[in-house]
Amino acid sequence: MAGGVLSGYKVAFLATDMVDRSELVEPWTALADADADVELVSIRSGRILLSPDDDEAETFPVDRSVTEVSPADYDALVLPGGVRNLDTLRTDEDAVEFVRHFFEAGKPVGAICHALWLLIEADVARGRTLTSWPSLRTDLLNAGAVWCDEQVIVDGNLVTSRKPDDVPAFTAEVVELFASRASAVAPGRGAWRQPTLCTEAR
């Protein structure tokens, strides 16, 4: 829709094979509906396989390879989950460096489920209040983060959530955060978001 709240705002999604379908498609659709320019960046060209894998395997087209793009070309980043997706991405140096850029540049990022592994690899979790799939809790604590068992956590330029069930809340906060950065001059927009208070910080 022309003239949407995110018109002209360029968002990269970083994913590869076996990315969680809901964690990719639902935020993608919401951002596109807000008129953001969304692109899927991956470690290879072609199409990636979505998870869960079944007899009717679904794929999603890659726009550009991570080696072909500059992270400076994007305003924001979304990192969907999926165990096999992230287990591959976190061992790819180009993917890790791509993620690190967004934090060093102070750009907004949304990460859900196992995507927090990439924040650990990029060494950007330290001092952050965040959440993730529960099995990442110890890894994130060891990386210097404050971990909370909450549906969605907003800490400055970072939105995190735990799992596919949290996708609606995650998507709403991602769109709100990205809109606040894109429309900083609008009333009530552009203020730095303080960390969500945890009921049980760890």
Residue type, 165: D
The tens digit of pLDDT for each residue in 55-113 reads 567 999 999 999 999 999 999 999 999 999 999 999 999 999 999 999 999 999 999 99
The matching CATH number, chosen from 1.20.1260.10, 3.40.50.880, 3.40.47.10, 3.40.718.10, for 10-182 is 3.40.50.880
Considering the entire predicted model, what is its pTM?
0.91
| Helix runs in 3-82, H state only | 21-33
Residue that is written with structure tokens 């995507």 in the block: 115
What residues contact 177, with CB distance under 8 A and at least 6 apart? 108, 110, 154, 157, 159, 193
Active site residue 198: no
Which pLDDT score is estimated for 183? Answer: 80
User: Of residues 19, 113, 122, 177, which has the active-site annotation?
Assistant: 113
11 vs 78: CA distance, rounded Å: 7
The tens digit of pLDDT for each residue in 2-33 reads 458 899 999 999 999 999 999 999 999 999 99
Rg (CA), the chain: 16
The tens digit of pLDDT for each residue in 46-57 reads 999 999 865 567
